[in-house]
Amino acid sequence: MIEKNKKKIENAVHDIIEAIGDDPKRPSIQETPARVATAYEEIFAETGKQHFEDYKIFNVAENAGMVLVQDIPFYSMCEHHILPFFGTVNVAYVPQNGKIIGLSKIPRLVDFASHRPSVQENITVMIADELQRILNPKGVAVSISARHMCMEMRGINKSGLFTYTNKFLGTFADDHELKNEFLQQTHQR
Ligand SMILES: Nc1nc2c(ncn2[C@@H]2O[C@H](COP(=O)(O)OP(=O)(O)OP(=O)(O)O)[C@@H](O)[C@H]2O)c(=O)[nH]1
Ligand SMILES: [Zn+2]
């Protein structure tokens, strides 16, 4: 993030502190605007980026079966309240023509999709669509389970609610046995 934009965040946080009735000059809060700017730089690092580019393609056996990376933790901020929502993501795909990506790139793709203001449905779809674009696999399945602080600490104030979303492409959408295998492996059935 360029310095000018970090400064903008600092100024905004300074104003928020003042507006909520606290004193931005209070010693223990003085550095907070700068801390928030640094935190936002990390939390929102992928804002505005459409495509995940950090991967290499490898080749494996042509008939390789489902690859599933399960329980990938993620943290994001809802675009309505700028409050955290977080949980776990399951990502599966069936390679086509033996084309795969390194396993670590899947959690990286999850971070790519979640490090921006968003909603759970859009993160789910973005992960599925990017994997489809990158690998053109036979199918992709993505499911997310998350808790939303904007429903827990304000508004309806209901704690411990989990929201589930999923997206199935290609063979996962067409082949019920494969979809069931994914759902069973990820304890959704
Ligand atoms: N579909 C979806 N909704 C979300 C997500 N995160 C937050 N929301 C919802 O976004 C909605 C925003 O609704 P508004 O009525 O504009 O905002 P609000 O008045 O603060 O709503 P309340 O939370 O009901 O007080 C709320 O119902 C939130 O629960 C998400 O990831 N997906
Ligand atoms: Zn919200």
Name the closest-CA residue to atom 10, ligand 1: 80
- Classify residue 27 as left (phi > 0), alpha (psi -120 to 50) or beta: alpha
Name the closest-CA residue to atom 20, ligand 1: 155
pLDDT (tens digit per residue) in 32-74: 999 999 999 999 999 999 999 999 999 999 999 999 999 999 9
Residue 30 annotated in active site: no
Mind listing the domains of the chain with CATH numbers?
3-43 (1.10.286.10), 57-185 (3.30.1130.10)
Averaged over 118-144, what is the pLDDT? 98
Residue 42 annotated in active site: no
Residue 52 CB partners (closer than 8 Å, separation 6+): 108, 109, 112, 113, 130, 134
Mutate to test the pocket of ligand 1, among 76, 80, 166 (most ligand atoms within 8 A of CB): 80
Name the pLDDT band for 189 (thresholds 50, 70, 90): confident
Place of tokens 């959704």: 188
pLDDT (tens digit per residue) in 155-173: 999 999 999 999 999 999 9
Q: What is the pTM of this model?
A: 0.95
Structure confidence at residue 64 (pLDDT): 93
Report the atom number in ligand 1 closest to the C-alpha of 81.
20
Choosing from 80, 121, 187, 188, the catalytic residue is: 80
Percent of the chain at pLDDT > 70 equals 100
